[in-house]
Amino acid sequence: MTEHDERQIRDALKQSFPPVNAELGRDLWPDVLRRLDVRPVKVPWYDWVLACLSVIMFLAFPRLVFVFAYHL
């Protein structure tokens, strides 16, 4: 490739892709905090059931802890 070809490719790429504006139009952190304050954390009932079943299984079969630890 000659320098002329590289320059043509570079110019074609610059024309194809507009310059990227890396600056945000505004600060997003206040919006994130507002959304976290407004929406309470809801845990579905089946998550509580699964957590209780896990505790019961670990109490009933203590060696099961080693099986799960092995797979981690």
| Model confidence pLDDT, tens digit, residues 25-36 | 788 889 988 988
Distances (CA, A) of 61 to 47, 56, 58, 64, 72: 21, 8, 5, 6, 18
Flag whether the pTM goes above 0.85.
Answer: no
pLDDT at position 1, please? 67
Long-range CB contacts (< 8 A, 24+ apart) of 19-25?
Answer: none
- Domain residues of the chain, as ranges? 42-72
Block means of pLDDT (10 residues each) for the chain, 72 residues, are 85 84 80 86 92 93 89 86
pLDDT at position 55, please? 92
